[in-house]
Amino acid sequence: MAGPTPKVNRSWADPLANRIPDPVAKLRYLRNVRGDDEAVPEVSRWRRARLPVAAVVVVVASLVLGGTVMRRPAKREKSVESAAAVPAVSVPVASGTVHAAAPHTKVWLVETRGTLESWSNGLQVDTSLTVSNKKRKAAPTGIVFHTTESQMDTFEPEKAQRLKMLARGLLNYVREEKGYHYVIDRFGRAFRIVAEEDIAYHAGNSVWGDEKHTWTGLNDDFLAVSLESATRTGDENPEITPAQKLALRLLVEMLRYRFGLAARNCVTHAQVSVNPSNFRVGWHTDWAGNFPFEEIGLPDNYQLPLAAVERYGFGYDPAFFAATGARMWRGVVAAEDRLRAEASRRQISVAQLRAELRKVYQQHTRAQDVPAPNQPETAHKETH
Ligand SMILES: [Zn+2]
């Protein structure tokens, strides 16, 4: 496929591109930042083979096909809009193995002693700080994983008292803010902060989707699980302990079994966070790389196309790439590929398609009570 002549010479592009180990991802990134969005894209024979037109039912094409959109309307009230009221957003999931639905492990509550729950898979949940909040209207449909962006200290025995003090301050803060349903501290202790039947204020402006639904404003539909940690940029691993990883695995098992959560709807905040004021993804970048999906029993959901890019035409900028690990770029590229395929099928430019999709986003989120992008949206922004 012959790429169009670069229209913009952006000197920052190449150094960033050099950080992309995957040559295909690098090419697509360069193609994007060099501004060929204005051109009618070609679809290579390879791409046509992977994405036969008949199989690609992307956003705009699906507007007439019916279905539902899950969204967060005004005043944090959740509703399911009918097809007549809101256009459907229906995008097929890419073939492959990444989202094979992992079987649910049966997990049940063994006993409760005081404020400690023991679950059949070994999970223990401390409920001493659990608070109520506004009730959700329906059972949760997925999990958003966060880091608390906490003050960190070395994880050594002689620091135990200080580490406990830091954890306690964090937990109290999250409780005040009703910021997450669960926090796992550095000792691997799982605390239920906001009751699962209630809403936690964790996701802010956000977008995710599966085969049937697209959600905006994920607070109403997704549980929040946060690890006491601090995000590092790019491919650097956030500092999490083996105890945290173990507890996270057990907690995810329990939540998935109890609520029947699909593996593909267990994703990181960086995968769902958006800034509607400039239509960029990655307003929050916690777990923008190296979330241990496989180690906790999930498929590598970083490979899933970013729903905000694919379904609502969001873009991204150098700051997002700087903050993002290589694993997550695959999801960006996958979403871009689908956008280009759809634009090609309709013989319009990617820029035109993006503009249409952004209007759809605005329709879906109009009148929603979402904080302004320059306001703190989630608890973890406040816990530095
Ligand atoms: Zn977050």
Kindly give the distance from the C-alpha atom of residue 43 to the centroid of ligand 1, in angstroms, as a whole number: 36
- pLDDT value, residue 28: 59
- pLDDT value, residue 318: 81
User: How far is 271 from 264, CA to CA, in rounded Å?
Assistant: 12
Query: Tokens at residue 109, please?
Result: 């509550």
Amino acid identity at 327:
R
User: How far is 95 from 209, CA to CA, in rounded Å?
Assistant: 16
Query: Per residue in 26-73, pLDDT tens?
Result: 545 555 554 434 332 222 222 323 333 333 333 333 332 333 344 433
Q: Is residue 27 part of a domain?
A: no
Query: Per residue in 131-151, pLDDT tens?
Result: 999 999 999 999 999 999 888
Q: Is residue 8 part of a domain?
A: no
- pLDDT value, residue 101: 52
The domain tally of the chain equals 1
Query: Per residue in 111-131, pLDDT tens?
Result: 999 999 999 999 999 999 999
Backbone angles phi, psi at 357, to 5 degrees: -65, -35
Picking from 234-243, 276-285, 315-324, 373-382, which range would have the lowest pLDDT averaged per residue? 373-382
Is the model's pLDDT at 200 over the cut of 90? yes
- Region 204-232: mean pLDDT is 94
Q: What is the DSSP letter of 125?
A: E
Q: How many helices (H) and strands (E) does the chain have?
A: 10, 14
Handedness of CA 365, 368, 374, 378 (dihedral sign): negative
Kindly give the distance from the C-alpha atom of residue 287 to the centroid of ligand 1, in angstroms, as a whole number: 8
User: How far is 129 from 167, CA to CA, in rounded Å?
Assistant: 13
Spatial contact of 340 and 310, defined as CB atoms under 8 Å apart: no
Kindly give the distance from the C-alpha atom of residue 200 to the centroid of ligand 1, in angstroms, as a whole number: 12
Kindly give the distance from the C-alpha atom of residue 184 to the centroid of ligand 1, in angstroms, as a whole number: 14
Which residue has 């509550």 as its token pair? Answer: 109
Kindly give the distance from the C-alpha atom of residue 299 to the centroid of ligand 1, in angstroms, as a whole number: 20
Backbone angles phi, psi at 190, to 5 degrees: -95, 120
List the end-to-end C-alpha distance of the chain, in Å, as a whole number: 47
- Which has the higher per-residue pLDDT, 156 or 23? 156
Q: Is residue 23 part of a domain?
A: no
- pLDDT value, residue 41: 29
Strand partners, 71: 79, 216
Picking from 26-30, 153-157, 176-180, 190-194, which range would have the lowest pLDDT averaged per residue? 26-30
Kindly give the distance from the C-alpha atom of residue 226 to the centroid of ligand 1, in angstroms, as a whole number: 8
Q: Model confidence at 25, in pLDDT bands (50, 70, 90)? A: low
- Which has the higher per-residue pLDDT, 381 or 299? 299
Spatial contact of 326 and 29, defined as CB atoms under 8 Å apart: no
Q: Is residue 258 part of a domain?
A: yes
Kindly give the distance from the C-alpha atom of residue 224 to the centroid of ligand 1, in angstroms, as a whole number: 9
What DSSP string runs through 268-295?
A: EHHHHBEETTTTEE-SS-TTSS---TGG
Kindly give the distance from the C-alpha atom of residue 203 to the centroid of ligand 1, in angstroms, as a whole number: 6
Angle at 230 between CA 260 and CA 130, to 5 degrees: 50
Contacts of 54 (CB under 8 A, 6+ apart): none
- pLDDT value, residue 105: 82
Kindly give the distance from the C-alpha atom of residue 232 to the centroid of ligand 1, in angstroms, as a whole number: 13
Q: Is residue 14 part of a domain?
A: no
Of 266, 263, 285, 276, whose CA–CA distance to 329 is shortest? 285
Look at residue 249 and give its three-state secondary structure.
helix
- pLDDT value, residue 272: 97
- Region 161-186: mean pLDDT is 96
Kindly give the distance from the C-alpha atom of residue 380 to the centroid of ligand 1, in angstroms, as a whole number: 6
Picking from 35-39, 169-173, 176-180, 287-291, which range would have the lowest pLDDT averaged per residue? 35-39
Q: Is residue 30 part of a domain?
A: no
Kindly give the distance from the C-alpha atom of residue 292 to the centroid of ligand 1, in angstroms, as a whole number: 16
Q: Is residue 31 part of a domain?
A: no
- pLDDT value, residue 17: 55
- pLDDT value, residue 150: 85
Of 152, 171, 328, 143, whose CA–CA distance to 240 is shortest? 152
Picking from 6-15, 222-231, 276-285, which range would have the lowest pLDDT averaged per residue? 6-15
Kindly give the distance from the C-alpha atom of residue 286 to the centroid of ligand 1, in angstroms, as a whole number: 5
Mean pLDDT of the chain: 77
CATH number at residue 161: 3.40.80.10
Contacts of 45 (CB under 8 A, 6+ apart): none
Radius of gyration of the chain (CA): 21
- pLDDT value, residue 324: 86
- pLDDT value, residue 22: 52
What DSSP string runs through 301-335?
A: GGGSPPHHHHHH--B--HHHHHT--HHHHHHHHHH
Beta strand ranges found along the chain (DSSP E):
69-71, 79-81, 109-113, 116-119, 124-126, 142-147, 182-184, 190-192, 207-209, 214-216, 222-227, 266-268, 274-275, 280-281
Backbone angles phi, psi at 25, to 5 degrees: -65, -40
Look at residue 190 and give its three-state secondary structure.
strand
- pLDDT value, residue 98: 45
- Which has the higher per-residue pLDDT, 83 or 282? 282
Kindly give the distance from the C-alpha atom of residue 269 to the centroid of ligand 1, in angstroms, as a whole number: 5
- pLDDT value, residue 139: 95
Q: Is residue 24 part of a domain?
A: no
Kindly give the distance from the C-alpha atom of residue 197 to the centroid of ligand 1, in angstroms, as a whole number: 20
Kindly give the distance from the C-alpha atom of residue 95 to the centroid of ligand 1, in angstroms, as a whole number: 29
The parent domain of residue 86 ranges over: 40-382
**CA contacts within 13 A on the Cβ side of 335:** 28
Picking from 207-211, 217-221, 286-290, 299-303, which range would have the lowest pLDDT averaged per residue? 286-290
Kindly give the distance from the C-alpha atom of residue 376 to the centroid of ligand 1, in angstroms, as a whole number: 11
- pLDDT value, residue 301: 96
Angle at 271 between CA 268 and CA 272, to 5 degrees: 95
Kindly give the distance from the C-alpha atom of residue 47 to the centroid of ligand 1, in angstroms, as a whole number: 34
Cβ burial, residue 113 (10 Å; 0-12/13-18/19+): exposed
